[in-house]
Amino acid sequence: MNAANGSTGSGKRVVVAGYGPAAHRLAETLRGRGFAGPITMLGEEPRSAYDRVALTSYLDGKTAEDLTYPVPAGITPRLGARVTGIDRQARLVTTEDGHAEPYDVLVLATGSSAFVPPVPGRDLPGCFVYRTIDDLDAIREAARGASSGIVVGGGLLGLEAAEALRGLGLATHVVEMGPWLMPRQVDEGGGVVLRRHIEALGLSVHTGAGVAEIQPGPDGRVARLVKPDGEAVEAQIVVFSAGVRPRDELARRAGLAVGERGGVVVDEGMRTGDPSIYAIGECALAAGTVYGLAGPCFTQAEVAADRIMGGTASFTGADVSTKLKLLGVDVASFGSLDGGLDVTFMDPVGGVYKKLFVSDDARTLLGGICVGDAEPYAALRPLVGRELPASPTELLFAGTAAISADLPDDAQVCSCNNVTTGRVRQAIAEEGLTDVQGVKRCTRAGTTCGSCVPMLRQILVSSGVDVGKAMCEHFPHSRAELYDIVRVRGITTFSQLVAEHGTGRGCGVCKPAVASILASLGGGHILDGEQAALQDTNDHFLANIQRNGTYSVVPRIPGGEITPEKLIVIGEVARDFGLYTKITGGQRIDLLGARVEQLPAIWKRLVDAGFESGHAYGKALRTVKSCVGSTWCRYGVQDSVGLAIALELRYRGLRSPHKLKSAVSGCARECAEARSKDFGVIATEQGWNLYVGGNGGFKPRHADLLAADVPTGELIRIIDRFLMFYIRTADRLQRTAAWVESLDGGLDYLREVIVEDSLGICAELEDQMERHAAYYADEWRATIEDPDKLRRFVSFVNAPGVPDPSISFETERDQIKPVLIPLEVTRS
């Protein structure tokens, strides 16, 4: 580390008192901007910073780990270490456990504590606050023996706590001192609608009600809450959520200024009266306000980080707009909630209340409130203080879908992270972003509460990005569009396609997809020329990679029919190369454990014996399974084996958006399980029934009947069209099951196109399949006959004969089994 480098703040020891979200954002910002000095976080809780906005989800099955932020690299967290004193002269902080930590810069990020009104009984067992994971653990524990609970406080946090109690199965009451719920965010009209929503969920709401006393039962625990009017509400749990108080006691004791109603006084740079001490988050009194929302606290952390590194950023107040879903009800407020004129939309039946505040001339938006439908929030919040794009009535009745994309550059789109529309547009243009994920990564917009994500998508669209279809950052097209481009323009290489229609040099998503498109349009051998570089490792080595880096070999056995001589060859090859053998579900034999350099020799033996590639490695036709059929089976009505072999030989090598499986059953008993296949055929007395779009796998789906009782020639023509239409129009890695379901009009539409020829393309589809069948050549034979292609089949280019020393096997049930290499990376 170079201590002389002042711009990165090297050498400064930063100590943060508190380790909550604001402290986390500070450390993350410092490290992200290259701050090189040591950063120590002194956290009171036994865990590192977690997302408090999502606290309630902890009771819904999220774990503490789910909520915990990743610890930024190179920071030292000391947990369970509450700071008890600051020695400003010696620049030392002391912690509860007696440790003393020297600092050059101290940041107070001690947060807030729940305000508990001074009522009798407030300390009884059964009384809780709602601030930390430990609080939630305690509430959950107490709820086990309880039937009802009361939340004191009907604001934002109170309703969150009420949601939690209800989720724990308690009859839940909300006691709010103010005349309506959420008095800080909504007006009376909104409060009425909100109350109706909440009461409809079975909660009891007591507004205009304080707490006189909390009384114990005979066991000494909470038994009831008594209101000032004398009414008693029975409950075994009381959660105080009536506001928070800044935790400024450290600053007070250290002689730093605090506000009249609490909060450490800081300047625009988040610095206290002591130039070495900053305060951020809910403990700080910044721009005259103690902010309790995540967005402003994050901004404060970023400002403090900038100042620590010698910058001049300032915090002069923040938007306190809020949008949240409480107890399933959307509640949002933004801008100023009074003044000028207001226009109200109220639908008591639908439980919707929307109100806009506008200037006296009804042209400038001042603020708004939404309850039950927060749709206007995302679009209108950035327009506060600006001219309205339509009349308030139109906006409230007709919605805001049309206006959002025209936001001016300085309008804030994400208030949590203070990101403007202009910043998002700039990032899209400069970084070539093509999706919301990229915008989030580059700008942080949408990463906290997520309410602006629809806006981000709109800005992408208005910036000319087609978000819905883009395959990856290199092509703004869907696979189907790329297929059409390649087909119509006669493009034959990836380089030409990406130069004319994309950017960069591709990735693991677009390259194999383009390789598949080129192959299905008759691109020759998949390892010819530039095409070789597009193939994933399976297609590149014409074998399936396994978990230890070896490959499997699957020769084609059409229809599952094989002679004893060929069976013996497979056995001999497996024995001679020491391979593991297994019968697959597709009626063939898998040979596993082959090293890259063994593949050509293995295939030489197989090809010489009359085998060919089974394409088990490709997004291509795999097998056509069959039952034994009418030739042998006493129930069979057609020759299912003969048809399966004919189909497998016709479609072998056909590259497609995903793998293709098929089967033919010789009677309705369906022993070949044809209805679980992409295209399955079942014999009838009169011909064949064709089923399409079946799937086993992750999401099983029975195939749908596309054509009934068709003769063999007609059957093959319909399958030709079906497969080519799928290849033309499906998305990358979309199996036929999902493709059929995604078609607008579904199976009926598919039948119109490929049976009734409504688009007039059937002849073209059949021609294309005819060409495929005519030009098919075995990839493995072509490879072993080509010295250039064979050169790739080595583990090490500088030691072609040396096997990969990382691959080893042990024995299990008389066959080999990979010895797996231990991992240091654990995957969650």
Partner 1 sequence: MSVDLRDPARPPGAGQTWVQVCSYTDLLPERGACVLVGSLQIALFRTFEGRLHAIGNRDPFSGAYVLARGIVGTRGEEPTVASPMHQQAFSLVTGECLDDPAVAVPVYPVRVADGVVEVGVA
Cross-strand partners of 555: 613
| Residue 299 tokens, joined | 């901004």
Query: How many angstroms separate the CA atoms of 368 and 374, rounded?
Result: 10
**CB closer to partner 1 out of 353 and 494:** 494
Residue 34 as a binder of partner 1 (CB under 8 A): the answer is no
Provide the strand spans (E) within 589-722: 589-594, 621-626, 660-665, 679-683, 688-692, 704-710
**Alpha carbons 397 and 354: distance in angstroms, whole number:** 10
Least distance in Å: CB of 85 to partner 1? Answer: 36
Q: Find the binder of partner 1 among 59, 257, 287, 545 (CB under 8 A).
A: 545
Residue 117 tokens read as: 């009104």
Of 527, 534, 554, residue with least CA distance to 543: 554
Cβ closer to partner 1: 547 or 699?
Answer: 547
Classify strands 580-583 and 589-594 as parallel, antiparallel or unpaired.
antiparallel
Restricting to residues 753-772, name those near partner 1 by CB under 8 A.
none
Contact track, partner 1, 47-86, x by CB under 8 A: -----------------------x----------------
Print the binding letters for residues 402-421 with partner 1: x by CB under 8 A, - otherwise: --------------------
Measured at the CA of 752, the angle between CA 750 and CA 755, to 5 degrees, comes to 90
Q: Which is nearer to partner 1, 1 or 499 (CB)?
A: 499
Name which of 553 and 607 has its Cβ closer to partner 1: 553
- Report the nearest approach of partner 1 to the CB of residue 504 (Å): 4
Q: Which of residues 788-827 bind partner 1 (CB under 8 A)?
A: 792, 795-799, 802, 804-807, 820-825, 827
787 binds partner 1 (CB under 8 A): no
504 contacts partner 1 (rule: CB under 8 A): yes
Q: How far is the CB of 8 from partner 1 (least distance, A)?
A: 19
Q: How far is the CB of 726 from partner 1 (least distance, A)?
A: 24
- CA pair distance 94, 653, nearest whole angstrom: 72
The answer to the question of residue 18 lying near partner 1 (CB under 8 A) is no
Paired with 106 in beta bridges are: 15, 277
Min. distance of Cβ 802 from partner 1 in angstroms? 6
343 lines the binding site for partner 1 (CB under 8 A): no
Site track 429-468 with partner 1 (rule: CB under 8 A), x = hit: --xx------------------------------------
What whole-number distance in Å separates Cα of residue 696 and Cα of residue 459? 40
Closest to partner 1 by CB, 516 or 638: 516
Candidate segments 282-290, 311-319, 508-516, 517-525, binder of partner 1 by CB under 8 A: 508-516
Q: Which of 84, 537, 712, 815 lies at the binding interface for partner 1 (CB under 8 A)?
A: 537
Residue type at position 582 = K
Cβ 460 to partner 1, closest distance in Å? 16
By three-state DSSP, how is residue 455 classified?
helix
Determine how β-strand 222-226 pairs with β-strand 213-216: antiparallel
Contact of 452 with 463, CB cutoff 8 Å: no
Q: 271, 479, 540, 735: which one contacts partner 1 (CB under 8 A)?
A: 540
Q: Should residue 505 be labelled a site residue for partner 1 when binding is judged by CB under 8 A?
A: yes
Name the DSSP letter for residue 408: -
| Nearer Cβ to partner 1 (141/810) | 810
CA dihedral in degrees (351, 356, 357, 362; nearest 10)? -140
Instruction: Return the number of the residue (17 or 39) whose C-beta is nearest partner 1.
Output: 39
Q: Which is nearer to partner 1, 347 or 530 (CB)?
A: 530
Q: State the chain's maximal CA–CA distance in angstroms.
A: 99
Distance CA 705, CA 711 (A): 15
Angle between helices 712-729 and 746-754 (to 10 degrees): 120
Indicate whether 534 belongs to the interface with partner 1 (CB under 8 A): yes
Residue closer to partner 1, measured from CB, 213 or 536: 536
Choice from 381, 457, 474, 675 touching partner 1 (CB under 8 A): 474
Q: Which of 530, 572, 757, 786 binds partner 1 (CB under 8 A)?
A: 530
Q: How far is the CB of 595 from partner 1 (least distance, A)?
A: 11
Smallest distance from the beta carbon of 73 to partner 1, in angstroms? 8
Q: How is 593-622 classified by DSSP, letter by letter?
A: EE-GGGHHHHHHHHHHTT--B--TTSSBEE
Helix (H/G/I), strand (E/B), else coil: 393? helix
Q: Which two tokens stand for residue 548?
A: 């230890």
Where are the alpha helices (H) located in 56-204, listed in sequence order? 64-67, 133-143, 156-167, 188-200
Q: How many residues bind partner 1 (CB under 8 A)?
A: 45
Structure tokens at 628: 């034994």
> How far is Cα 250 from Cα 109, in angstroms, rounded to an integer?
11
Q: Where in 250-309 is the site for partner 1 (CB under 8 A)? A: none
Structure tokens at 619: 């997004």
For partner 1, the binding residue among 144, 547, 634, 699 (CB under 8 A) is 547
Question: In terms of CB distance, is 541 or 688 closer to partner 1?
Answer: 541
Candidate residues 247, 323, 511, 675; the one interacting with partner 1 per rule CB under 8 A: 511
Of all helices (H) and strands (E), which one includes residue 14? strand 14-17
Judged by CB under 8 A, the stretch of 182-190, 536-544, 578-586, 779-787 that binds partner 1 is: 536-544
Angle (CA) 53 241 116, round 5°: 135
Check if the beta carbon of residue 427 is closer than 8 Å to that of residue 442: yes
Q: Please, which residue, 208 or 508, has the CB nearer to partner 1?
A: 508
Answer for the pair 754, 710: CB distance below 8 angstroms, yes or no: no
Query: Measured from the CB of residue 682, what is the shortest distance to partner 1 in angstroms?
Result: 37
CA distances 659 to 619, 703, 719, 726, Å, are: 4, 16, 15, 12
User: Which residues of this protein are in contact with partner 1, per CB under 8 A?
Assistant: 70, 431-432, 473-474, 495, 504-508, 510-512, 530, 532-534, 536-538, 540-541, 545, 547-549, 792, 795-799, 802, 804-807, 820-825, 827
